[in-house]
Amino acid sequence: MVIEEENYCKEYTGFEMMLVSACRQIRHDDVVFNAFHWPFLVVHMAKLLRFPNLFTVMEVGLSQNEVPKPDKMPYSIVDPVLVPNSVFVGDSIDALSILQRGEITLAFLSTSIIDKYGNGNTTVIGPYKKPIYRLPGGGGATEIAGLANRLIWLLDDHSKYRFVEKLDFITDPGYLNGYDSRIKAGYPLNSGPEAIITPLCIMRFDPFTKEAYLDALHPNATIEQVKEETGWNLKIADEVRDIKPPTMREIEICRKTMKDAIDQYYILKPEWTKYLEK
Amino acid sequence: MSTDKISTMREAIKKFVHNNELVFLGGFGNGIAFSAAHEIIRQDLKSLTVCKCGGGILFDQLIGAGVVDQIITSHCWNPHGPQPAWNLKRAMEEGIPNNLIYNEQSLFMINMSFYAGYMGVPFMPIRSIVGTDIFDNPKEVGLKAAKVECPFTGEEICVVPAINPDVGIIQVQRADIEGNAQMWGLIGDTKFGINACKRIIVAAEEIVDKAVIMESPERTIVSSNKVDAVVHEPWGGHPGYMQGYYYTDLEYRFNYAKETKEIRDWNKWLEKWITGVNDRQEYLNILGEDKLRKLKAKNLIQGAVNYGY
């Protein structure tokens, strides 16, 4: 019998660890809202790795529970290759209504900036009227964050600039001002951010204050480093768990997915892809 | 009265789209109305407000060309990379070429506003934007959403207003000369958005006989009673895709970001692809036959059913 440790990958990037760690949060019976960009890669990996028949819904109005076609990775959630591989195609309102009816059990989202209550900003950096940096706007992320049962944020860069005490603009509702403010605003009881996954760690949310705290560390990251790179005074779990490194199988699927994504014009930073075969 | 509404894109835009109007452009990946937008730019229309669930590089071009004062959308970026929509950034950050109002929407919000317009009711309820800054920004566009009490349950719920554009343009797979327009694959906001419009231009990859439309009438997203003009416009959705006709031009869209990052490069791009050509055919000539051959979709004909009774 092979000793389990030997199956773990030794060299991998923080970005790869983030994708793998996110993939492990999916349960076999989840109904997943499949959003553009990093979430799309995570769901793609999950279908190849563990759950080929995972039920996924996309905001353009399409539902699937089939393994991706091998010839071409979709370049986005609107790729026409998705259509003949789907069980339902309708209007955007169909997909968003699935969400509003409370049928989406899990969603991943990436965002530009996040605060300690898990609110996201993809609208503007600086004053709204005089932006330093204009961002795209939220698209469907506003309702995904508002209405999915479990929301998992993916932040590819764990730094003070991305993790801030207070946002310039709330595009995507997390726990708003913490405590019961999200419920008071009218969002479903069983909804809201469950975790933030970064190259360094997994944060979860205090059940009472709804503030994000450090729950588990990715290998090679330290508590001090996470605290240093977070823009608020981050609270730490009494016992910080250690997350296992990617298995050889996980990293193989992860790298294949990344490679296919690059072929479809995703931009991945060189430091994320240094172990990809050229 | 003749039921033949066939027109060129130039005539249709000239006749049915005017300065200061609210314009809907169709397509969410599938059938993005690029050809129509390019003609709007060539005719140098002014002070338009454009609406669409995701603006993408289509809105970026309209912004850069200076034909729009306001965009109503939930997202405007170049999804390939992803990379910034540079004209949007220039307009929002520096007021170049003019000050632009970005009427912030969420995807559900704008879809439900189109749906209210489609249904002929003044507003629709949604559960998703309370507590966000999308709810009431930017202030200068007035009341964007409100909270009301449900008369049946007493629950407080958010409502968003109907959008009824002055004119809408869609790019579809096929239509007949009367304007019965069929689209398949991903629809996004196109069906509800176009039916909310007061005037409608349909651009189609193919013009077919009405009998073909009637073979699968559930594919019709807008019917002839509402349509003002029909344009035969093959490849009108390039560099987006049209299911069954051509694939997204990923390379072109990816390079667009680098070719428009600086304003002088954008001006060159604008002249090469839009103002320097007379129509879609000349645009396709620049693109070249090799490229078109590469993008052309392979046949995948399926889904015949029994309509017997």
% of chain B beyond a pLDDT of 70: 99
Give the pLDDT score at B3. Answer: 86
Alpha carbons within 13 angstroms on the beta-carbon side of residue A102 total: 5
Residues from chain B that touch A93, judged by Cβ atoms under 8 A, are: 108, 111-112, 115, 192
Q: What is the pLDDT of residues B278-302, one digit of tens each?
A: 999 999 999 999 999 999 999 999 9
Distance (Å, rounded) from C-alpha B113 to C-alpha B125?
A: 9
> Domain map of chain A by residue range?
4-272
DSSP, collapsed to helix, strand or coil, labels residue A146 as helix
d(CA A33, nearest CA chain B) in Å: 14
CB contact under 8 A, A136 and B85: yes
Mean per-residue pLDDT for B8-29?
Answer: 98
Specify whether the CB–CB gap between B93 and B127 falls below 8 A: no
Give the pLDDT score at A5. Answer: 54
Q: Tell whether ipTM is more than 0.85.
A: yes
- Selection from B60, B6, B34 nearest residue B206 by Cα: B6
Q: What is the pLDDT of residues B237-259, one digit of tens each?
A: 999 999 999 999 999 999 999 99
Would you give per-residue pLDDT tens digits along chain A (278 residues)? 555 556 999 999 999 999 999 999 999 999 999 998 999 999 999 999 999 999 999 999 999 999 888 778 999 999 999 999 999 999 999 999 999 999 999 999 999 999 999 999 999 999 999 999 999 999 999 999 999 999 999 999 999 999 999 999 999 999 999 999 999 999 999 999 999 999 999 999 999 999 999 999 999 999 999 999 999 999 999 999 999 999 999 999 999 999 999 999 999 999 999 999 76
Q: From residue A227, how far is each of A159, A200, A273 by CA, in Å?
A: 10, 11, 26
Q: Please list, in sequence order, all residues whose beta carbon lies within 8 angstroms of the beta carbon of residue B34, skipping any fewer than 6 positions away.
A: B58, B171, B236, B237, B238, B239, B240
Which residues are registered as beta bridge partners of A107? A33, A151
Q: Give catalytic status of residue A59 as yes or no.
A: yes
Give the pLDDT score at A72. Answer: 80
Specify whether the CB–CB gap between B230 and B171 falls below 8 A: no
| Third-level CATH fold of A4-272 | Glutaconate Coenzyme A-transferase (3.40.1080)
Residues from chain A that touch B89, judged by Cβ atoms under 8 A, are: 133-134
Residue given tokens 């290759």 in the structure block: A81
Q: Mean pLDDT score of chain B, rounded to an integer? A: 97
Specify whether the CB–CB gap between A74 and A54 falls below 8 A: no
Q: In chain B, whose CA is at the least distance from the CA of A144?
A: B128
Give the pLDDT score at A68. Answer: 87
pLDDT at B1 over 60: no
Distance (Å, rounded) from C-alpha A94 to C-alpha A208?
A: 34
Residue given tokens 């929002």 in the structure block: B92
Residues from chain A that touch B76, judged by Cβ atoms under 8 A, are: 136-137
CB contact under 8 A, B79 and A76: yes
- Diameter over CA atoms, chain A: 63
CB contact under 8 A, A137 and B104: yes
- B156: nearest CB among A129, A136, A186: A186
Give the pLDDT score at A102. Answer: 97
Residue given tokens 């910034």 in the structure block: B84
- Best mutation target among A97, A134, A181, A184 (most B Cβ atoms within 10 Å) is A134
| Strand pairing report for A133-134 and A124-125 | antiparallel
d(CA A222, nearest CA chain B) in Å: 31
% of chain B beyond a pLDDT of 90: 99
Specify whether the CB–CB gap between B26 and B236 falls below 8 A: no
Mean per-residue pLDDT for B57-81?
Answer: 97
| Strand pairing report for B123-126 and B156-161 | antiparallel
Specify whether the CB–CB gap between A211 and A235 falls below 8 A: yes
Handedness of CA B253, B272, B11, B166 (dihedral sign): positive
Q: What angle do CA A99, B107, A34 make, to 5 degrees?
A: 50
Distance (Å, rounded) from C-alpha A95 to C-alpha A81?
A: 18
Give the pLDDT score at B296. Answer: 98
Q: Report residue B244 as tokens.
A: 């069954």
Q: ω into residue B97 within 30 of 0, thus cis?
A: yes
